[in-house]
Structure 1
Amino acid sequence: MTRAIMIQGTGSDVGKSLIVAGLARAFTRRGLRVRPFKPQNMSNNAAVTADGGEIGRAQALQARAAGVAPSVHMNPVLLKPQSEIGSQVVVQGRMVATVKARDYQGWKPRLMEAVRDSFARLCGEADLVLVEGAGSASEVNLRAGDIANMGFARATGTPVVLVGDIDRGGVIASLVGTKAVIDPDDAAMIRGFVVNRFRGDPSLFADGMALIAERTGWAPLGLVPHFPMAVRLPAEDVLGLAGSGPGAGGRKRIVVPVLPRIANFDDLDPLRAEPEVEVLLLHPGQAIPGDAALVLLPGSKTTIDDLEFFRAQGWDVDLKAHVRRGGRVLGLCGGYQMLGTTLSDPHGIEGAPRSVPGLGLLAVETAMTPLKRLESVAGNSLPDGAPFAGYEMHVGETVGPDAARPLLRFADGRVDGAVSADGLVCGSYVHGLFSDDRQRAAWLARLGAVSDGASYEAGIETVLDALADHLERHVDCDRLLALAAEAMR
């Protein structure tokens, strides 16, 4: 028998993803076959799956916590925002359309079929499916046709545990208010609640837990203290992107302009963990500092729009001055495309067809193409032979004289990226370079810094184990498991 339980939240970024990851590790350690599942996600921080698609980064981390390879069925509907009102729609790992938010409401009934199909597939291979909701359970204005929260819970009979974040304030009102505004039949699906990110003496909130339980009728399942090690896990939402890691004030400064549609920003996480590195996130209105050792242009979901934003901040002028001073530049994926002489979108992949000049720091040209490359790759960097493992996730083909000096050679003999004639500017389509300890050490050596030698991947495992221990101490996991119901496929 497969059981399922759904973790919903009073709002976005209340810790749902982290709690599911910790529970996945905790129940896996108990010998259960656990699978994470999120019916609908919205994120530009995605992961390539073993079955050749893409899902939200959080579900990939949750799969890792459960000790299984990520699958497109763990996140059957992924929305990748391209504007304030529109997103690409990825269904079971493949992009199927670009729609505006208002039009998306009409898509939901047909998407529920894919959601239920993927859910059934996971149930067929698991003892327990941990389902994560999206955003807030109380978004009653979006309830009609919902596939992400109560719509899914009701359709599949999956009981719900509601999570509130006390660190942002108003958690009593958030939890009790959810009961007040949602449909009574939806409220009946909620069996218990968890208060997350508590700081201080837990006895001071005992009355608060009792009040919430009394007003809602839901079981109090745990008061979870703040878990500071969470910053060492990949963040899915740009809201969780920290400014710098333990290396703040370190010898070498890596500057990262924060673009409106920044994507795959977990590329930065391994660098933030290095003691000799400070990762400085550059926000609008700030200039690229003169002491930067490396300016890293990150990935983007809407490369041309973000390039125009980059120019509007005056960062193009700062970047050229940085190179004249002998500073290094690395562009990853969309950032690589921006560094060339021309960036064109003849098929309207990112909007209306157009062509714009690039930053001109690499002698390459990029044309967006309908085909999206989703693939895990490995090989060596050509400047120093350092091994790497990562993944490609991009549209576009880049060619030109500087591409004759590639940055990487894949294990199958293909090459990737480009390096300027003076060696100061380079770009690559490969994400995850810095997660490979060998490649990260080589990059730090180019900047005149020394890696601390710690294994980034082993560190992730350590944090997941610590998170599971943390939840076992502060959440009634036995009761939560007892609340899980037989999955209705």
Structure 2
Amino acid sequence: MAAVMLQGTGSDVGKSVLVAGLCRALANRGLSVRPFKPQNMSTNAAVTPEGGEIGRAQAMQAIAARVTPHVDMNPVLLKPQGDRTSQLVVHGQVRGILTAARWREGREGLLDEVMDSYRRLAAAADIVMVEGAGSPAEINLRGGDIANMGFARAAGVPVILIGDIDRGGVIASLVGTRAVIDPADAAMIHGFLVNKFRGDPALFENGYRAIEERTGWRGYGVVPWLVDAARLPSEDAVVLQRPVARSDGRVIVACPITAHIANFDDLDPLRLEPGVELMMVPPGQAIPGEASLIVLAGSKATIADMAFVQAQGWDIDILAHHRRGRPILGLCGGYQMLGRTIADPEGAEGPVASVAGLGLLAVDTVLGGSKALVEVSGTALGARFEGYEMHLGRTEGADTGRPVALFDDGRCDGAISADGLVSGSYVHGLLGLATQRRAWLAAIGAEATGPDHRASIDVALDAIAVELERHMDIDALLALSQTAGDHQD
């Protein structure tokens, strides 16, 4: 079996994008490729056709490889829903709630299930592109690791380490990783990549050679800043910490960043519209009064996020927006917050509780029960949509008599208020198709001219693949992948 693993000197160094770009580049060479991430931590997830969930990045990487997403591509997914608790998803299904301490003690027991997934993928592909998580230099987390070197050594998969030059200190981060990790772990690393370079690569030639000399690893290239990466879905909430842009006359769509925001990539299609300014509003800032549309995104802990909305004063902003006669859209957890009450009698999200919502929709939500994980399609606002459901609980009430969506299987979804200004839906990916996005934006006087989101992703992946072919030694990477299994513990 052929495989290679990309690990990073830290989070947000570009691992997910590089794996996706390599999946597309190798697929363009005619190879059968499968992406794989042993363990992921993200609140952005995607539903697979078999009714499981995996990290959003692995679903995007499957698109890059031109294959159908499968739960084996991300066998262990942690979905944070509190400061110290996460929902554990194994092979696409919820297995329970873990505290940070319990996870560190119990994760090693999941290695066999991770290896089973890896072997199934490897048996069906010419090459497996593996993505690490965080950094192998986090030596305090090395015991029981299944995300980085714990997996690499168990599977004998060679590693290429990525350093992010844009954040500074790339020489120190690569050489420092070599210095602090266990020698047996260091032996798994066969090379490095310098990512997110701006300017003339010739200016870094001496630095590149210094890394090779000080680590003993060969360089696989200097990858430039990939402008097309901004068109890919993000699963890391670090992107939400970037400064808020101000509108230059475009129609403003505002989305508050709640503490447990999830599947915020639902709003990515709005970035394709030149006449729309998507403002992700951070804590401590008011929702801009000039916003034409407010969108409440999904949440991994709806009751906690309802309290967070109130603590930020966003409930006042949202109610004032409604009084101005402007529309509001809630997606999944955001839909639940727009209703009258949210109850958690089984403690699905934490302590048993029942709280008041914003009261803008005549609906009530009861959390709990089995998790809905299904791909859906149908019509909303007279236009086609394609997406997926991923939620716990049920929402009922008078306003569901005015549903947002009609599924192709005959079911209805969501609710619309009596005044027509407030809408809520459980459909993730609702705005992906250009025709559907056009229908929503027409209601706020914005012209939609952007493409389908999936088509935009494909164009971006092809562009990234071209750049990687130009700036990486992919032939050497393929040769390295053939050594997988040779270094197995």
Give the TM-score of the pair, scaled to structure 2: 0.97
1:390 aligns with 387
Change (3 A) 1:271 1:218: same
Distance 1:246 1:470, change over 3 A: farther
1:20-419 to 2 correspondence within 5 Å?
Answer: 20-241=19-240, 248-381=247-380, 384-419=381-416
Over residues 281-336 of structure 1, what are the superposed CA-to-partner deviations in whole Å (9 max), with x where a residue is unaligned? 11122112221111100000001001100000111111111101101100000000
1:12 is aligned to 11
The structural deviation recorded for 1:245 is 11
User: Contact (CA 8 Å) 1:444, 1:450: kept in 2 or not?
Assistant: yes
2:182 & 2:433 partners in 1: Cα distance? 48
The one-letter amino acid paired with 2:469 is E
Cα distance, 1:109 vs structure 2? 2.2
Please provide the CA RMSD for this pair.
1.5
Give the superposition deviation at 1:487.
4.5
**CA distance change for structure 1 residues 192 and 486 in 2, over 3 Å: closer, same or farther?**
closer
Write the deviation string for residues 389-443 of structure 1: whole angstroms up to 9, x where unpaired: 1110000100011111111110111100000000001100001011111110101
The 3-state SS of whatever aligns with 1:374 is strand
- Separation in structure 2 between the aligned mates of residue 233 and residue 245 of structure 1, nearest angstrom: 19
Q: Secondary structure at the match of 1:167?
A: coil
- Maintained 8 Å contact 1:244/1:279: no
Distance 2:40 2:79 in 1: 9
| Contact 1:343/1:357 (<8 A) preserved | yes
Shift in Å, 1:456: 2.6
CA distance in structure 2 between the aligned counterparts of 1:177 and 1:160, rounded to whole angstroms = 16
Query: Residues 28 and 34 of structure 1 are in contact (CA less than 8 Å); yes or no, is this contact kept in structure 2?
Result: yes
Q: Distance in 1 between matches of 2:294 and 2:406?
A: 23
> Structure 2: how far apart are the matches of 1:308 and 1:245?
23
Q: CA deviation at 1:244?
A: 9.2
State how far apart, in whole Å, the 1-side matches of 2:243 and 2:377 are.
Answer: 28
- 1:331 and 1:262 mapped to 2: Cα distance? 12
Give the conservation status (yes or no) of the 8 Å contact 2:161–2:191.
Answer: yes
Matched letter for residue 142 of structure 2: R
Alignment-mate amino acid for residue 173 of structure 1: A
Offset at 1:459?
Answer: 1.5
Distance in 2 between residues matched to 1:444 and 1:428, nearest whole Å: 16
Is the partner of 1:370 in helix, strand or coil? coil
**Matches of 1:422 and 1:271, distance apart in 2:** 25
Q: Deviations over 1:239-278 (max 9, x none)?
A: 1248699995243110100011110111111101101111
* 1:118-155 Cα deviation digits (max 9, x unpaired): 00110110010011000011111111111000011111
Q: Tell me, what secondary structure is at the counterpart of 1:435?
A: coil
Pair 1:484 & 2:481 matched: yes
1:336 partner amino acid: Y
Partner amino acid for 1:223? V
**Following the alignment from structure 2 to structure 1, what is the Cα–Cα distance between the partners of residues 244 and 438?**
17
Q: C-alpha distance in 2, partners of 1:444/1:22?
A: 32
Match among 470, 482, 487 for residue 467 of structure 2: 470
**Corresponding residue for 2:453?**
456
Q: Assess if the C-alpha contact under 8 Å between 1:250 and 1:275 holds in 2.
A: no
Pick one of 428, 437, 440 that aligns with 1:443. 440
Q: Is the 8 A contact 1:243 1:279 kept in 2?
A: no
For 1:200, what is the secondary structure of its paired residue? coil
Q: Secondary structure at the match of 1:431?
A: coil
SS in 2 for 1:108: helix
Aligned residues: 486
Q: Distance in 2 between matches of 1:317 and 1:246?
A: 22
Q: Which amino acid in the other structure matches residue 170 of structure 1?
A: G
CA distance in 2, matches of 1:454, 1:403: 30
Deviations, residues 458-484 of structure 1 (Å, cap 9, x unaligned): 221111000000111111000111111
Name the CA distance, whole Å, in 2 between partners of 1:433 and 1:354. Answer: 30
The 3-state SS of whatever aligns with 1:369 is: coil
**Identity of matched residues, %:** 60
Note if contact 2:329-2:424 (Cα within 8 Å) is conserved in structure 1.
yes
**Whole-Å separation in 1 of the counterparts to 2:363 and 2:37:** 39
Give the residue type in structure 1 aligned to 2:399: D
> The residue matched to 2:369 in structure 1 has which SS?
strand
Unaligned 5+ residue runs, structure 1?
A: none
1-structure distance, mates of 2:280, 2:349 = 25
Q: Which runs of 5+ in 2 are unaligned?
A: none
- Report if aligned partners of 1:246, 1:273 keep a CA contact under 8 Å in 2: no
1:246–1:255 distance in 2 versus 1, CA, 3 Å: closer
- The alpha-carbon deviation at position 486 of structure 1 amounts to 4.8
Residues in 1 aligned to 2:297 and 2:355: alpha-carbon distance in whole angstroms: 19
> What is the letter of the counterpart of residue 415 of structure 2?
A
Instruction: Find the aligned partners of 1:134 and 1:232 in 2 and give their Cα distance.
Output: 22
Name the aligned partner's letter for residue 49 of structure 1.
T
For residue 55 of structure 1, report the CA deviation from its aligned partner: 0.3
- Find the residue that maps to 2:86 and give its secondary structure: strand
Instruction: Decide which moves more: 276-285 or 181-190.
Output: 276-285
CA shift for structure 1 position 85: 1.3
Tell me, in whole angstroms, the C-alpha distance in 2 between the residues paired with 1:285 and 1:352.
26
> Per-residue displacement from partner, 1:343-399 (whole Å, max 9, x unpaired)?
000000000111001111111000002310001101111xx3111111100001000
How many angstroms apart in 1 are the aligned matches of 2:425 and 2:122? Answer: 38
Paired residue type of 2:429: G
8 A contact 1:402–1:420 mirrored in 2: yes
Indicate the SS of the match to 2:12: coil
